[in-house]
């Protein structure tokens, strides 16, 4: 990337306040043609808000932006697209029941004479040009998350974008999918596109970004610096305001003698997935009180169905589930037996956007404190305050609507609700998804605390580093089976990798 290349985008002094929340204050940023520019910062730092102003979703209270040195004020995403700006949101916005081509057709403004065959031809040409393989005739509901994301990027390119904005594209991806995405991003950079990308992972900043801008509490604290000039500790300090040392977990080997009852026992379970295929093909697993078991596997190997079966959220065709020795088949019986659930995608599975933080804290499926004929909100408030103090994930104020919270702040509400109470079994799918460095660290400490206080903890993650730093045992799944198991003193990345591909133990 040459010094003299003109910025496609320049942001000068953007400010956006939502009532008492100063989401952005006097923010400066520029993105050049042919560069990947990373935007980093804590949960709630204002990253998504900044991107939404650039993309015309929000109007800034103050400041201006220039495209190719010309001041512009996109009043809507359509106007931003006309200026050559495209954005892929944190939550993908596709219609699952339609095909790839139909989804693309929906996003391209055309006359009434829409010709689907032409759209298919264009998709094929455009996807070949950028190495973004997607089948135009496939139904979106059958695509993996990685494929859906490629489709979103393709849509952006087909609307003529030169500036491509990606808000946390990797937080939902498995490591192999991240490499594929970065291949596409590097290709776009080489073609002269400008890319503005949000991530919480510093190794990703180093892998892909030419420059990085750090937001903290709505202010730009580093603007367009080169990552190589900073250590990870310096970047973390600029984001969080203090150092965050890496986690060092003490491992345990739980005695599984006669008479000790597992917190979770899954025996010989078969179960169907969403598309009628067999997702679990005879799976058995025990999680004992006081142990943390990690589930590794390539996405779609049955991990999600395993969690759902454990929690009574998915029926089995054969086999049994018991929690602390009590057979469990329904969500109600799992909750009664003391199970808690950190779902894979809280925004989709677990939150009701219009409700407040406090109402979400009450929505945990357990008995609510009651007063006369209604809910005792004062008691819910006291309990929420106590949980927040105990866990230290610093959830947003009680009255805030969840729809107004940042992605990571929603995850923190769900984590506080589920991990704050005493439980015999914790089932956590991708617990650190969307969290910033400090909150990832805190969440991992909480999971280890749960384990030390006697819960059986099951953690699903595609991030092997995370599992290797937390788990006492890692169980590897492949194609609906358990392909092997490795204990903490024998963790070996290559070996686990082979098991993930179905290789023999
Ligand atoms: N529409 C809105 N109404 C009120 N407050 C909002 C709105 N959108 C964002 N905020 C607030 O602005 C702040 C910044 O949010 P933003 O989504 O930009 O953070 P972020 O840096 O993207 O965080 P994350 O890493 O969690 O995605 C947060 O406190 C958020 O609750
Ligand atoms: Mg965000």
Domain boundary among 185, 205, 240: 240
What residue's CA is closest to ligand 1, atom 30? Answer: 405
Q: Strand 194-198 to strand 35-40: parallel, antiparallel, or no bridges (unpaired)?
A: parallel
Ligand 1 atom nearest residue 409's Cα? 26
Instruction: Mark whether 38 and 145 lie in a shared domain.
Output: yes
Helix (H) or strand (E) holding 441: helix 437-452
Q: Are residues 331 and 370 in the same domain?
A: no
Which residue lies with its CA nearest to atom 10 of ligand 1? 404
Token output for 476: 């590897």
Residue 257: inside a domain: no
Mutate to test the pocket of ligand 1, among 27, 39, 406, 411 (most ligand atoms within 8 A of CB): 406
Cα 364 from chain centre: 21
User: Is the same domain home to 52 and 132?
Assistant: yes
Q: Does residue 198 share a domain with residue 114?
A: yes
Q: Which of 398, 422, 446 is the last residue of a domain?
A: 422
* Other CB atoms within 10 Å distance of the CB of residue 93: 11
| Cα–ligand 1 centroid distance for 21 (angstroms) | 9
Ligand 1 atom with least separation from CA of 47:
21
Domain that residue 13 falls in? 7-240
Q: Are strands 264-272 and 85-88 parallel, antiparallel or unpaired?
A: unpaired
Least distant ligand from the CA of 407: 1
Closest ligand 1 atom to residue 405 Cα is 31
In-domain check, residue 442:
no
Calculate how far, in angstroms, residue 418's C-alpha sits from the geometric centre of ligand 2. Answer: 22
Please check whether residue 87 lies inside any domain of the structure: yes
Residue 374's pLDDT is 83
Give the orientation angle of helix 116-130 with respect to helix 100-107, to 10 degrees: 100
Residues 121 and 164 placed together within one structural domain of the fold = yes
Ligand nearest to the CA of 52: 1
- Contact between 411 and 435 under an 8 Å Cβ cutoff? The reply is yes
Indicate whether 56 and 110 sit together in one domain. Answer: yes
User: Are residues 381 and 406 both part of a single domain?
Assistant: yes
Query: Which residue is listed with tokens 């933080």?
Result: 357
Please give the pLDDT value at position 275. 82
Tell the residue nearest (CA) to atom 16 of ligand 1.
Answer: 46
- Ligand 2 centre from 175 Cα, in Å? 20
Give the ligand whose atoms come closest to the C-alpha of residue 53. Answer: 1
8 Å CB contact between 219 and 64:
no
- Domain assignment present for 30: yes
Same domain, 22 and 124: yes
Q: Which residues pair with 18 in a beta bridge?
A: 21
435 alpha carbon, closest ligand: 1
Q: Are residues 358 and 329 in the same domain?
A: no
Please indicate, yes or no, whether residues 469 and 503 belong to a single structural domain of this protein. yes
Q: Are residues 329 and 382 in the same domain?
A: no
Least Cα distance to 87 among 79, 98, 99 occurs for: 79
Same domain, 287 and 232: no
Q: What is the pLDDT of residue 462?
A: 84
Residue located nearest, by CA, to atom 18 of ligand 1:
46
Give the residue, out of 404, 432, 434, with the most ligand 1 atoms within 8 A of its beta carbon, to mutate for a pocket test: 404
Q: Which atom of ligand 1 is nearest to the CA of 436?
A: 25
pLDDT the model gives residue 107? 78
Interval between CA 35 and ligand 2 midpoint (Å): 21
267: Cβ contacts below 8 Å, ≥ 6 apart? 284, 319, 320, 321
Beta strands 85-88 and 163-166: pairing type? parallel
Q: Is residue 444 part of a domain?
A: no
What pTM value is reported for the model? 0.89
- Ligand 1: residues with CB < 6 A are 18, 21, 23, 41, 43-49, 404-409
Residue 247 lies in a domain: no
Per-residue pLDDT of the chain in tens (505 residues, 90 and over written 9): 444 567 999 999 999 999 889 999 999 999 999 999 999 999 999 999 999 999 999 999 999 999 999 999 999 999 999 999 999 987 778 888 899 999 988 877 665 557 888 889 989 998 888 888 889 999 998 888 888 899 999 999 998 999 999 999 998 887 888 998 999 999 999 999 999 999 999 999 999 999 999 999 999 999 999 999 999 999 999 999 888 887 877 777 776 655 679 999 999 999 999 888 999 999 999 999 999 999 999 888 999 999 999 999 999 999 999 999 999 999 999 999 999 999 887 666 667 778 899 998 888 777 778 888 788 889 889 999 999 999 999 999 999 998 889 889 999 999 999 998 889 999 999 999 899 999 999 999 999 999 999 999 999 998 888 999 999 999 999 999 999 999 988 888 889 988 988 875 4
Q: Is 250 inside any structural domain?
A: no
Q: How far is the CA of 49 from the centre of ligand 1 (A)?
A: 6
- % of the chain at pLDDT higher than 90: 66
Whether 246 is covered by a domain: the verdict is no
Q: Which segments of 169-223 does DSSP mark as H helices, in order?
A: 175-190, 202-208
How far apart are the C-alpha atoms of 476 and 294, rounded to whole Å? 8
Two structure tokens written together for 139: 């139904």
35 C-alpha to center of ligand 1: Å?
Answer: 26
Asked if 162 contacts 7 with a C-beta cutoff of 8 angstroms, the reply is no
Count of structural domains within the chain = 3
- Domain with residue 303: its CATH number is 3.40.50.300
CA-nearest residue, atom 5 of ligand 1: 404
How far away, in angstroms, is 489 Cα from ligand 2 center? Answer: 37
pLDDT for 2 equals 47
69 CA from centroid of ligand 2 (Å): 27
Atom of ligand 1 nearest to the CA of 49: 18
Query: Hey, whose CA ends up nearest to atom 2 of ligand 1?
Result: 404
């Amino acid at each position: 990337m040459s010094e003299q290349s003109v910025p496609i985008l320049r942001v000068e002094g953007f400010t956006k306040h939502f009532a008492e929340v100063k989401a952005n204050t006097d923010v400066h940023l520029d993105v050049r043609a042919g560069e990947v520019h990373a935007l980093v910062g804590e949960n709630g730092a204002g990253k998504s808000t900044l991107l939404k102003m650039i993309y015309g979703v929000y109007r800034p209270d103050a400041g201006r932006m220039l495209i190719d040195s010309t001041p512009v004020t996109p009043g809507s995403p359509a106007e931003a697209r006309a200026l050559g700006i495209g954005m892929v949101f944190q939550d993908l916005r596709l219609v699952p029941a339609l095909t790839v081509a139909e989804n693309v057709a929906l996003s391209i403004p055309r006359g009434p004479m829409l010709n689907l065959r032409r759209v298919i031809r264009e998709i094929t040409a455009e996807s070949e040009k950028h190495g973004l393989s997607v089948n135009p005739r496939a139904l979106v509901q059958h695509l993996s998350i990685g494929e859906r994301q490629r489709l979103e990027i393709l849509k952006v390119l087909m609307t003529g974008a030169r500036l491509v904005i990606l808000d946390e594209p990797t937080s939902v991806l498995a490591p192999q999918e991240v490499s594929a995405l970065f291949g596409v991003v590097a290709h776009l950079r080489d073609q002269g596109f400008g890319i503005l990308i949000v991530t919480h992972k510093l190794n990703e900043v180093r892998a892909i970004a030419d420059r990085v801008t750090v937001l903290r509490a709505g202010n730009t604290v580093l603007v367009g610096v080169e990552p190589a000039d900073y250590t990870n500790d310096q970047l973390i300090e600029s984001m969080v305001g203090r150092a965050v040392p890496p986690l060092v977990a003490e491992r345990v080997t739980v005695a599984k003698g006669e008479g000790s009852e597992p917190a979770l026992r899954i025996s010989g379970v078969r179960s169907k997935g969403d598309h009628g295929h067999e997702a679990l093909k005879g799976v058995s697993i025990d999680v004992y009180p006081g142990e943390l078991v990690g589930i590794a596997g390539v996405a779609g190997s049955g991990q999600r169905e395993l969690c759902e079966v454990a929690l009574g959220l998915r029926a089995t065709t054969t086999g049994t589930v018991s929690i602390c020795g009590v057979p469990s088949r329904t969500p109600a019986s799992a909750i009664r037996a003391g199970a808690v659930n950190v779902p894979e995608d809280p925004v989709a599975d677990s939150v009701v956007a219009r409700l407040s933080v406090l109402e979400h804290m009450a929505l945990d499926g357990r008995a609510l404190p009651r007063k006369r004929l209604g809910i005792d909100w004062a008691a819910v408030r006291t309990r929420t305050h106590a949980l927040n103090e105990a866990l230290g994930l610093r959830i947003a104020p009680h009255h805030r609507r969840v729809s107004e919270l940042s992605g990571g702040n929603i995850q923190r509400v769900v984590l506080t609700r589920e991990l704050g109470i005493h439980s015999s079994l914790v089932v956590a799918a991708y617990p650190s998804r969307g969290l910033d460095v400090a909150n990832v660290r805190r969440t991992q400490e909480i999971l280890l605390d749960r384990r030390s206080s006697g819960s059986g903890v099951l953690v699903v993650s595609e991030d092997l580093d995370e599992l290797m730093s937390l788990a006492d045992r890692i169980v590897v799944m492949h194609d609906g089976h358990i392909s092997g198991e490795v204990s903490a003193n024998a963790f070996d990345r290559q070996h686990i990798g082979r098991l993930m591909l179905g290789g023999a133990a």
